[in-house]
Structure 1
Amino acid sequence: MYKTYTKSFVFVVLLCFTALGNVFGQVSINRVEPAFWWAGMKNKQLQLMVNGPGVAKAKPVITYPGVKITEVAKTDNPNYLFIYLDIAASAKPGLMRIKFTGANGEAKSINYELKARTDRSGAQGFNSADVLYLLTPDRFANGSTENDALEAVGIDRKNPDARHGGDLKGVADHLNYIKDLGFTTVWFNPVQENRMPNGSYHGYAITDFYKIDPRFGSNAEFKQLTADMHSKGMKVVMDMIFNHCGLAHPWMKDKPAADWINNQKKYVQTNHAKLTAMDPHAAKTEKDILLDGWFVPDMPDLNQRNRHLATYLIQNSIWWIEYARIDGIRQDTYPYPDYAFMARWCKEVIAEYPNFNIVGESWYGKPGEIAWWQRNSAINPNNTYLKTVMDFPLTFTADWGFNEDANKNGGEQSGIYQVFEVIAQDFLYPDPNNILTFLDNHDLGRFTRKDDKSLDRFKQAFAFLLTTRGIPQIYYGTEILMEGAKSEGDGQIRKDFPGGWPGDKTDAFSAEGRSDKQNEAFNYLRKLLNWRKTNKPVTVGKLIHYAPYDNVYVYARIYGDKTVLVMLNASGKDQTLDMARFTDVAGKHASGTDVITGKVISISKNFTVPARGQYILELN
């Protein structure tokens, strides 16, 4: 009893001294974000978010040539302090001392580094000359088993929703595979830390915006990976999320401000009514639920109307561009964060890196809804400054439109005609070339289906994807006919790539490990992708198309005196075309070279396209 009383008494005394220490101004600093910055940035403003017990009671002072404090901002949380700096063009790289003085005169100093901007690689952006290879890092390849476990959370490949161990080294080990296929760019699903209790293999519940998830590797490894990709002539697109963070983020235990999170006192589920973002008749309450509601209970909704958080997020993306020299960003759930903030973000990123590109996930079903989000849209009075949008309407239409049963009957109700109609509505877009086109991705059922007996649907759809307007994206494993239905769960559309793990029974990274059908699909895509790289009519040329007759869609890509003619027969029977109809694109050309076979084919007078077949012809 005596011992217990003594221990309790000592504990109370220690608590009192701790409290008095905070009252009298002792300074303790746990973290400063960003951890470092660069001299010579175009935007001379820098926000430092300082965290530590009672740090808001301290007064920061900086004495460094070319750097001055413009504002010291406090919130209702005494453990956070926001320091706004002006870094003049004359400021030199070096260690900048920041002195924090408490109320009792006690001082604590830290060194903050301004780095030199020595790396000028990357930040190239991506455009219609590129093709993106989208991969989920946890499911692509496990290059190092040493990082498989984090604390008590290991890997379980039998569980489709658990961590499987894929990592950055796994990607690095297979860069030549990706390049040889013909891809110019890799888009990574999120690689930032997701230190969630359930593992969060997909990456969309971030718990540290400035750190690569240790189960994928380190910041240094990611930076080296981008450098290696640039040395191979490839680009890197990084997935980012501004709408929410993970529930296990340290902010949730000690929020930097009371309004850092939306609906923090009572859980409100977003209504996903994305049209309310643009609907002139939308009720305010509906719009508030869309913007401020949470995606799921594990993903708190961030309030970008808080100016400190807004600046934090913008600086974070600029930090990753400058640090790792990434070439583009794909922004998740684009309509859900604050509209004005997102426009500001786009403007500030492009102001710093004029060639950079950002694509926003704009998940809508109609072209007009997508076009509203592209910068300089005539149908949106408030500029988004978003360069590239995602063509979900084309994805949904193509998924059905290339099916044989969708083209049993002709006319405007046929599948291929519906595909044509989506493209025909490009008048809605300010810039039809800067639209991301895709047949599937990590959120959709895979385009390849178990009941596809032949490769007719596959070949026709990818012939279209790689020759129509826009920036094509192909999901990892498509080249080996990976399957997975959305109804089976997200884990089934994000399966492990065979051969990416030690001990895998098959290795689909090699021709020997693929079936004959897989190799046929692989070689078809490889041929098209590598041909596309050097074909300007397809990458930057003008698109002229014809309304489908008898379920045959014909269009041309033209650049200068070069023409590529594409013919897609979606019907179940051979179709003979009267080539006189296409003279305004074919001109006097009597033949063309088949891109796939290399054969020279006559296109004079009548021309027959086989059932469910396609031709991609370079006109001679």
Structure 2
Amino acid sequence: MYKKIINLLFLAVIFLFSSAAAITINRIEPANWWVGMKKTEFQILVYGPNIGNAKVSISYPGVTLTTAAKVENPNYVFLYVNVAKSAKAGNVPVTFSNGTDKFTYNYPLKNRDDKSGAMGFDAADVLYLITPDRFANGRTENDNWDSVSVNRQNPNARHGGDYAGVLTKLDYMKDLGITTVWLNPIQENKMRGGSYHGYAITDFYQSDPRFGSNEEFKALTKATHNKGMKMVMDMVLNHCGSSHWWMKDLPSKNWINNDGVFLQTNHATVSVMDVHASPSEKKTFLNGWFTRGMPDLNQTNPHLATYLIQNSIWWIEYARIDGIRQDTYSYMDFDFLARWNKEVYDEYPDFNIVGETWYNKSTSSAWWQANSILSKKNPHLKTPMDFSLTFAAQKAFDGKSDNGYLGDLFEDIAQDFIYVDPYHILTFLDNHDLGRFNRKEDTDLNRYKQGLAFLLTMRGIPQLYYGTEVLMTGTKEEGDGRLRVDFPGGWPGDKTDQFTKAGRNALQNEAWDYLQKLLQWRKTSEAVTKGKMIHYAPNNGIYVYARIKDNKTVMVILNSAVKEQAVSMNRFTDIIGSFTSAKDIISSKSFPLNSAITIPAKGEYILELSK
């Protein structure tokens, strides 16, 4: 009996040791890759107990393991795999061995679907920015997850918008005249409180299930393409959410800036290009965190840098999105950003990336544009954001005096010599972080119409914020939740449906119809979407500029005065040339060009010139 007990104990010990040695993989990212990519090497993050101590081998025609990189934490190994041009799609056996224990993971290599998407966008497009949680709820069964429930009475809680809701409104957007849908971040935000805005990502490779699955996002992108529109994905590479899965067991101490210890960023955005900047201030800006809930990622860590770059490429290839808007752009390492841009553009030459270059002065935004002479190194970014023009535009159309603020717009645009390509910058009147352009105190549409006429005929790539067309309002002082309110009619049981003409009041319908006419016309105007710009210094509150492409000319007249004015055409011979008449694209009124044109108080004309 005693001998039997000893034998059982011995077997138990053997079992425990063999179990301890068993190879377990908890996570592999990305879940797949593709054959035929221009860059043949890619990275696989493998996470599991002591997986870094295992030997790794790959046996598959055309696929070789370049490096199995160990890191500080033995629970990680980063595999760098080369896929030859001759390699075929299939399951690649990746074998992990530790003593006598072996485990083989069949890693999927897929064929590329490169027949659609990755189209990029340019000045011919108009982007429509949507906060998905607040736009439309197409499927209520996915509203509540991870003990976080919807509460539409709380402006900072989850409200339930999703991909299914966006899908049902694609025809609405197309009818309005939108060419490109831009969604605030859609990746998983498994954060306490819900993180409805999407900027505290807890899994870079998974869609937030409250919006829908990865497959549903891919289907939404395909449906958008089928409607003749494009899809832009908002990405966040500066930070993650504090509940991200790796925060409980970091690959290395320097995976998170400031060695994982909270340090508040000083938001000194100009320090990265300021030749007089204090080194400590610059370091605090780059390494500091937005909040305790958003740990700052260290893009100088080579494995993390590759991981983040590859994540962007994975989403492009997987969902065939057409563009990326990169959040908190200037807060990241310059060399990393330059490499990220270059690798994305090398793989997808037609693609476009917008960087959130939030500065008061356009010089700082221009510093980030590809091939800028302002920077000693090439930033490789095609499209910075023109916040400087936004801030000027928000007060330019007030019409409180005969002179207004149109001179501020003129002076800002006159500084375009600092941009390598001023026609490829993002322009906007507002967005999810700014007070809405529409104001509660506006009782007419004069400011609305002037602002949109300017935005949609000006140089650059215009972006509209959802709800602008139905006169949504909200100020920064009211809180971010008030800037991102639910679109009435997007939820079952809403009292009004402002997606429909019947659900809008008379002023909203006038605003909607004006914007629709302007957007649909813009699609047909090569002068606006492809033409160069000429402008004249404002005089007596009148600002005149033109867009010119070959023999097509569009002339825009803005009147900031609170009285109508007769504008002599004698000054504008550079624009008019041999043209003899003009037609306003909104009112269809025609004007001879050999006499003055009378423009209404706080009014605008968008004139197509003809002979």
Q: Distance in 2 between matches of 1:605 and 1:381?
A: 51
Provide closer, same or farther for how the CA distance between residues 599 and 337 of structure 1 changes in structure 2, counting only shifts above 3 A. same
Q: Distance in 2 between matches of 1:528 and 1:364?
A: 29
Provide closer, same or farther for how the CA distance between residues 16 and 595 of structure 1 changes in structure 2, counting only shifts above 3 A. farther
Select the residue among 311, 318, 321 that pairs with 1:316.
311
- Offset, 1:21: 4.9
State whether structure 2 residue 26 is matched by structure 1 residue 36: no
- Offset, 1:15: 11
Once the two structures are aligned, what percentage of the paired residues are identical? 59
Q: Distance in 1 between matches of 2:164 and 2:553?
A: 41
- Offset, 1:605: 2.1
- Offset, 1:409: 5.2
**Residue of structure 2 in register with 1:9 after alignment:** none
**Residue of structure 2 in register with 1:214 after alignment:** 209
Which stretch shifts more, 567-576 or 261-270? 261-270
Q: Distance in 2 between matches of 1:230 and 1:139?
A: 23
Q: Distance in 2 between matches of 1:588 and 1:570?
A: 28
State whether structure 2 residue 440 is matched by structure 1 residue 444: no
**Residue of structure 1 in register with 2:121 after alignment:** 126
Select the residue among 386, 392, 399 that pairs with 1:397.
392
Provide closer, same or farther for how the CA distance between residues 512 and 317 of structure 1 changes in structure 2, counting only shifts above 3 A. same
**Aligned to 1:183, what secondary structure does the other structure show?**
coil
Q: Distance in 2 between matches of 1:127 and 1:155?
A: 37
Provide closer, same or farther for how the CA distance between residues 113 and 265 of structure 1 changes in structure 2, counting only shifts above 3 A. closer
**Aligned to 1:557, what secondary structure does the other structure show?**
strand
**Aligned to 1:420, what secondary structure does the other structure show?**
helix
- Offset, 1:606: 1.6
1:434-457 CA distances to partner (integer Å, 9 max, x unpaired)? 100000000000000000111000
1:448-474 CA distances to partner (integer Å, 9 max, x unpaired)? 000011100000010000001000000
Q: Distance in 2 between matches of 1:69 and 1:255?
A: 24
**Residue of structure 1 in register with 2:3 after alignment:** none
Equivalent residues in 2 for 1:365-384 (5 A)? 365-384=360-379
Contact kept? 2:257, 2:298, Cα under 8 Å: yes
**Aligned to 2:330, what secondary structure does the other structure show?**
coil
Select the residue among 2, 12, 22 that pairs with 1:26.
22
- Offset, 1:534: 1.3
**Residue of structure 2 in register with 1:93 after alignment:** 89
State whether structure 2 residue 538 is matched by structure 1 residue 543: no
Q: Distance in 1 between matches of 2:316 and 2:256?
A: 26
State whether structure 2 residue 75 is matched by structure 1 residue 51: no
**Residue of structure 1 in register with 2:62 after alignment:** 66
Contact kept? 2:431, 2:465, Cα under 8 Å: yes
**Residue of structure 2 in register with 1:276 after alignment:** 271
State whether structure 2 residue 144 is matched by structure 1 residue 149: yes
Select the residue among 252, 277, 301 that pairs with 1:306.
301
Q: Which runs of 5+ in 2 are unaligned?
A: 1-10
**Aligned to 1:321, what secondary structure does the other structure show?**
helix
1:392-411 CA distances to partner (integer Å, 9 max, x unpaired)? 00000000111122xx253x
Q: Distance in 2 between matches of 1:171 and 1:19?
A: 53
**Aligned to 2:344, what secondary structure does the other structure show?**
helix
- Offset, 1:258: 1.4
Contact kept? 2:389, 2:412, Cα under 8 Å: yes
**Residue of structure 2 in register with 1:252 after alignment:** 247
Equivalent residues in 2 for 1:386-465 (5 A)? 386-405=381-400, 408=401, 410=403, 414-465=404-455
- Offset, 1:590: 2.6
Provide closer, same or farther for how the CA distance between residues 121 and 295 of structure 1 changes in structure 2, counting only shifts above 3 A. same
**Aligned to 2:308, what secondary structure does the other structure show?**
helix
**Residue of structure 2 in register with 1:563 after alignment:** 553
1:86-137 CA distances to partner (integer Å, 9 max, x unpaired)? 11101100011111001x2210011001000134200000000000000000
Equivalent residues in 2 for 1:310-349 (5 A)? 310-349=305-344
Q: Distance in 2 between matches of 1:21 and 1:292?
A: 41
State whether structure 2 residue 77 is matched by structure 1 residue 81: yes
1:29-81 CA distances to partner (integer Å, 9 max, x unpaired)? 01110000000100001101000011111111100000111111111111101
Select the residue among 341, 353, 356 that pairs with 1:361.
356
Provide closer, same or farther for how the CA distance between residues 583 and 47 of structure 1 changes in structure 2, counting only shifts above 3 A. same
Contact kept? 2:402, 2:562, Cα under 8 Å: no
**Residue of structure 1 in register with 2:580 after alignment:** 590
Select the residue among 327, 346, 353 that pairs with 1:351.
346
1:189-220 CA distances to partner (integer Å, 9 max, x unpaired)? 00000010110000000000001100000000
Q: Distance in 2 between matches of 1:187 and 1:134?
A: 5
**Aligned to 1:449, what secondary structure does the other structure show?**
coil
Q: Distance in 2 between matches of 1:216 and 1:182?
A: 25
**Residue of structure 2 in register with 1:488 after alignment:** 478
Q: Distance in 2 between matches of 1:198 and 1:598?
A: 52
TM-score normalised by length of structure 1: 0.95
Provide closer, same or farther for how the CA distance between residues 449 and 30 of structure 1 changes in structure 2, counting only shifts above 3 A. same
**Residue of structure 2 in register with 1:617 after alignment:** 607
Provide closer, same or farther for how the CA distance between residues 265 and 615 of structure 1 changes in structure 2, counting only shifts above 3 A. closer
Contact kept? 2:396, 2:406, Cα under 8 Å: yes
Contact kept? 2:260, 2:295, Cα under 8 Å: no
**Letter of the aligned partner of 2:470 in structure 1?**
I
**Residue of structure 2 in register with 1:385 after alignment:** 380
Q: Distance in 2 between matches of 1:84 and 1:572?
A: 66
**Aligned to 1:349, what secondary structure does the other structure show?**
helix
**Aligned to 2:489, what secondary structure does the other structure show?**
coil
**Residue of structure 1 in register with 2:134 after alignment:** 139
Select the residue among 510, 516, 537 that pairs with 1:526.
516
- Offset, 1:593: 1.3
**Letter of the aligned partner of 2:255 in structure 1?**
W
**Aligned to 1:576, what secondary structure does the other structure show?**
strand
Contact kept? 2:129, 2:182, Cα under 8 Å: yes
**Residue of structure 1 in register with 2:7 after alignment:** none
**Aligned to 1:433, what secondary structure does the other structure show?**
helix
Q: Distance in 2 between matches of 1:31 and 1:529?
A: 46
**Letter of the aligned partner of 2:566 in structure 1?**
T
1:323-373 CA distances to partner (integer Å, 9 max, x unpaired)? 000000000000011110010000000000000000000000111111101
Equivalent residues in 2 for 1:108-127 (5 A)? 108-127=103-122
**Letter of the aligned partner of 1:199 in structure 2?**
G
**Aligned to 2:415, what secondary structure does the other structure show?**
helix
Q: Distance in 1 between matches of 2:114 and 2:208?
A: 24
Q: Which runs of 5+ in 1 are unaligned?
A: 1-12
- Offset, 1:588: 3.0
- Offset, 1:265: 4.8
**Residue of structure 1 in register with 2:462 after alignment:** 472
Give the ranges of 4+ consecutive aligned residues of structure 1 lying more than 4 Å apart after TM superposition: 13-22
Provide closer, same or farther for how the CA distance between residues 18 and 431 of structure 1 changes in structure 2, counting only shifts above 3 A. farther
TM-score normalised by length of structure 2: 0.97
**Aligned to 2:254, what secondary structure does the other structure show?**
coil
**Aligned to 1:259, what secondary structure does the other structure show?**
helix
Provide closer, same or farther for how the CA distance between residues 18 and 370 of structure 1 changes in structure 2, counting only shifts above 3 A. farther
Q: How many residues align?
A: 600
Q: Distance in 1 between matches of 2:551 and 2:243?
A: 58
**Letter of the aligned partner of 2:155 in structure 1?**
P
**Letter of the aligned partner of 2:473 in structure 1?**
E
**Letter of the aligned partner of 2:102 in structure 1?**
A
Provide closer, same or farther for how the CA distance between residues 18 and 302 of structure 1 changes in structure 2, counting only shifts above 3 A. farther
